[in-house]
Amino acid sequence: MTLIVPVILCGGSGTRLWPLSRSGFPKQFLVLSGDGSSQSLFQQAVGRINSVANSTITLGNTLVVTNEDHRFLVLDQLREMKSVQATLLLEPIGRNTAPALSLAAFSAQQLAKDQKQDQDPILVITPADQTIQNLAAFTKALRDCIATVENCEKTIAILGITPTAPETGYGYIQRTASKDQHNAYSVERFVEKPDLIKAQEYLADGSYLWNSGMFVLRASTWLAALQEFRPDIFEASQKAWLSKSEDSADGVGFVRPGKDTFKAIPSESIDYAVIEKCPGSSFPIKMVELDAGWNDLGAWDAVWQVGKQDQDGNVTSGDTLLTNAKNSLVHASSRLVSAVGIENLVIVETADAVLVADRSNSQDVKNIVAQLDAQKREEKNLHRKVARPWGWYDSVDEGDRFKVKRIQVKPGASLSLQMHHHRAEHWIVVKGVAEITNGDQVITLNENQSTFIPQGQTHRLANRGTEPLEIIEVQSGSYLGEDDIVRFEDTYGRN
């Protein structure tokens, strides 16, 4: 029986969904599908791809390729999916999807060898940030892809999306007229994102489908095709893999490619590196059509499209009040948002930023993110409330030479042993019991008790209990940036 290995490509920053999606908490970790699900897009992707298992399909560990900085977001969300066994492949820097898939192929072969299973497993690859409305149709199409790859040597199978409009934001796949016994068509060519006139021609033609970015192929097929079409990426990826290190947390394995060798890999997508070169080559490429309510949620307009619309076409989330409003998306994160007399707008409120955009121009949110980046503003990267492996902190107030944070520490977790060059800190326990290292002293504080950490003092905050710990931290000093941290010991491997 062939081993099937799910691969989740969990990179990207989702800049077009700012301010909800940010580089520190990108869109794949958000609940955005609008179908009433409480799961994030990442969790939905993991669940969908694992649903392909049946009496004839055995699944191996799910491989999640993600950024080093996002590993604990992934862990937290996997922890809620108790039946999923996963291994995390941690990229030190983004190098697009071709190197990411190469890591997954090397890893799948190694895992299969270690477990004395089929040493050429079939990889089922999906991005982490899409939504599917019809799970049954998706599962059937994916099984057809697997059957195609099992029965045809060196074949790559791709899911093509039945187009519903002349979309200019997607690449297209042109297929042949007839399909085989596994419902797979041969692919004649791939075409880039078209202009509107060309997209209308594709829609009318009927043989063009949207490229979903979901593939099925053997690990050996990917590596052989990469070696043929882009030997530079293959060789650099192999070097990064061979220089890897491994560790684990909460029973989940971490695989870290060599940092310097990984940075040397050319940045390229799966499509440009290999897939678009396959038609007519020694690597046959097939396509199975998928009509299942697919959306890649590439902009706020797409979120509106998949959301639950009221009788006026509005999609709302959070504490909202609307009157005389039509065909708009209004998202409130931290306070009441009201709107009067609006139409075709996107309004997204977070604790530290508000976006107002014409729905038809929502793709241009990326230009706002570019301006934030040019101005080096923190709103590009982090929310006011920031997730950390030990819990979270919320910066509730800030002024000249002071900052106030609300901090929650998970049961059994602790911050690093650290010091600050430019600030002192006052800690007040408001919930739970805190173990505090303050220089040479280790003390325990209960609710309504407090302590002072002088500037330059080595210190640590820990929660040894079974309930969440919350404190209020008041910082004071000449510089209050998050980079003023010198770590001496850290449970989570941070510098």
Do 427 and 397 belong together in one domain?
A: yes
Q: Would you state the structure tokens that stand for residue 385, as one six-digit string?
A: 């409330």
| DSSP state, residue 290 | E
> Tokens 């009496």 label which residue?
55
Residues 447 and 434 sit within 8 Å (Cβ to Cβ): no
For residue 492, what are the CA distances in angstroms to 213, 223, 315, 393, 485? 33, 32, 39, 17, 15
Do 204 and 171 belong together in one domain?
A: yes
Do 29 and 118 belong together in one domain?
A: yes
Do 25 and 112 belong together in one domain?
A: yes
Where is the domain boundary, 340, 370, 400? Answer: 370
Residue 260 lies in a domain: yes
Do 234 and 143 belong together in one domain?
A: yes
* CATH code for the domain in which residue 241 is found: 3.90.550.10
Rg of the chain over CA atoms, in angstroms?
A: 25
Distance between CA atoms of residues 435 and 444, nearest Å? 5
Taking the alpha carbons at both ends of the chain, their separation in whole angstroms is 44
Do 340 and 471 belong together in one domain?
A: no
> Tokens 């006026």 label which residue?
312
Do 79 and 223 belong together in one domain?
A: yes
Residue 378 lies in a domain: no
Residue 138 lies in a domain: yes
Residues 64 and 50 sit within 8 Å (Cβ to Cβ): no
Q: Would you state the structure tokens that stand for residue 384, as one six-digit string?
A: 């006011």
pLDDT digits (tens, 9 = 90+) for 151-172: 888 999 999 999 999 998 899 9
Do 342 and 279 belong together in one domain?
A: no
Distance between CA atoms of residues 260 and 16, nearest Å? 30
Give the pLDDT confidence score for residue 35 in this predicted structure: 53
What is the extent of the structural domain holding 441? 385-489
Do 262 and 286 belong together in one domain?
A: yes
Give the pLDDT confidence score for residue 1 in this predicted structure: 65
Give the pLDDT confidence score for residue 401 in this predicted structure: 95
Residue 296 lies in a domain: no
Give the pLDDT confidence score for residue 152 in this predicted structure: 85
Structurally, how many domains does the chain consist of?
3
Residue 376 lies in a domain: no
Do 365 and 390 belong together in one domain?
A: no
Give the pLDDT confidence score for residue 456 in this predicted structure: 96
CB-based contacts of 167, cutoff 8 Å, min separation 6: 199, 210
Give the pLDDT confidence score for residue 390 in this predicted structure: 94
Considering only CA atoms, which of 16, 19, 15, 14 is closest in space to residue 29? Answer: 14
> Tokens 């052989």 label which residue?
224
Residue 297 lies in a domain: no
Give the pLDDT confidence score for residue 115 in this predicted structure: 72
DSSP of 243-285, one letter per residue?
Answer: T-EEEEETTEEEEE--HHHHHTSPP--HHHHTGGG-TTSSS-E
* Residue ranges for the chain with pLDDT beneath 50: none
Give the pLDDT confidence score for residue 203 in this predicted structure: 94
Q: How many CB atoms lie within 10 A of CB 226?
A: 25
Q: What pTM does this model have? A: 0.91
pLDDT digits (tens, 9 = 90+) for 221-277: 999 999 999 999 999 999 999 999 998 877 788 999 999 999 999 999 999 999 999
Do 137 and 272 belong together in one domain?
A: yes
Give the pLDDT confidence score for residue 153 in this predicted structure: 84
Give the pLDDT confidence score for residue 120 in this predicted structure: 87
Sign of the torsion formed by the C-alpha atoms of 346, 349, 355 and 356: positive
**Can the peptide bond before residue 284 be classed as cis, meaning omega within 30 degrees of 0?**
no
Give the pLDDT confidence score for residue 11 in this predicted structure: 87
Residue 70, amino acid: H
Do 281 and 336 belong together in one domain?
A: no
* CATH code for the domain in which residue 458 is found: 2.60.120.10
pLDDT digits (tens, 9 = 90+) for 4-28: 999 999 988 788 999 999 999 999 9
Residue 418 lies in a domain: yes
Residue 99 lies in a domain: yes
pLDDT digits (tens, 9 = 90+) for 20-58: 999 999 999 999 865 556 899 999 999 999 998 887 888
